[in-house]
């Protein structure tokens, strides 16, 4: 399978396809973690409206779409860390790929893009949050050099869940 992807800045016209990708990836990645009822009730239309608004109005974060075979198969959002204790770090806020491309190298290409872009902006530390139970994503982030920094927080997505923070130090 040729898994060559193209990554470009997301445009408001990408909102619907981004929403399809987002909902699909959530349903695959979070099955067995987030309750089925919550995942089944995700609305592509509602998500598309949010993406349209983000892509038109957001000045704080950069949004990217990843294309494979002329369709959006991945989405990425990056920017300045939202965590008060990491004011000088960059953050990968959203990082999603459709399941059919998992394990094909596309995620690594997008991660390399994200870390390079954040480093070019001037960040030498990058953080991201991941659900503690999302072992597949955690293995991927660890393969990319991210390490759990010991920080946890409880969030609610259909039920109480624990998110853990990973950090990548680009100055080795």
- Pairing outcome for strands 125-131 and 90-97: parallel
In a domain, 69, yes or no: yes
Q: Is residue 55 part of a domain?
A: yes
* pLDDT per position as a tens digit, 2-61: 568 899 999 999 999 999 999 999 999 999 999 999 999 999 999 999 999 888 887 789
User: Would residue 156 count as lying in a domain?
Assistant: no
Residue 32 included in any domain: yes
105 Cα distance to chain centroid: 15
Q: Does the residue 158 lie in any domain?
A: no
Across all residues in the chain, what is the average pLDDT?
A: 92
- Does the pTM surpass 0.85? The reply is yes
Q: Locate 161 and state its tokens.
A: 């869940």
Q: Which of 98, 87, 164, 88 is CA-nearest to residue 128? A: 164
Residue 154 maps to a domain: no
- 131 forms beta bridges with 163
Domain presence at residue 132: no
Cα separation, 108 vs 1, whole angstroms: 16
Residue with tokens 């949004």: 63
In CATH, what number is assigned to the domain containing residue 101? Answer: 3.40.630.30
pLDDT (tens digit per residue) in 94-142: 999 988 878 777 889 999 999 999 999 999 999 999 999 999 999 999 9
Contact between 134 and 148 under an 8 Å Cβ cutoff? The reply is no
Confidence label for 1 from pLDDT (cuts 50, 70 and 90): very low
Whether the CB-CB separation of 3 and 103 falls below 8 Å is answered with no
Which two three-digit tokens encode residue 154?
């409880």
Its domain, for residue 52, covers 6-127
d(CA 70, CA 57): 26
Whether 92 is covered by a domain: the verdict is: yes
Provide the domain count of the chain: 1
The gap from C-alpha 29 to its chain's centroid, in whole angstroms, comes to: 11
Residue 92 near residue 126, CB atoms below 8 Å: yes
Q: How many CB atoms lie within 10 A of CB 102?
A: 15
């Amino acid at each position: 399978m040729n898994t060559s992807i193209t990554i470009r800045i997301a445009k408001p016209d990408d909102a619907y396809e981004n929403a399809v990708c987002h909902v699909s990836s959530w349903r695959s990645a979070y099955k067995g973690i987030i309750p089925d009822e919550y995942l089944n009730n995700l609305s592509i239309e509602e998500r598309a409206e949010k993406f349209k608004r983000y892509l038109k109005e957001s000045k704080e974060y950069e949004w990217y779409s990843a294309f494979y075979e002329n369709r959006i198969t991945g989405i990425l959002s990056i920017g300045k860390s939202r965590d008060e204790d990491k004011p000088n770090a960059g953050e990968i806020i959203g990082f999603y790929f459709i399941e059919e491309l998992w394990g094909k190298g596309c995620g690594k290409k997008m991660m390399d893009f994200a870390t390079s872009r954040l480093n070019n902006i001037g960040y030498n530390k990058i953080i991201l949050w991941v659900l503690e139970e999302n072992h597949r994503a955690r293995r991927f982030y660890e393969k990319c050099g991210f390490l759990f920094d010991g920080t946890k927080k409880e969030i609610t997505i259909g039920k109480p869940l624990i998110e853990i923070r990973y950090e990548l130090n680009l100055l080795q």
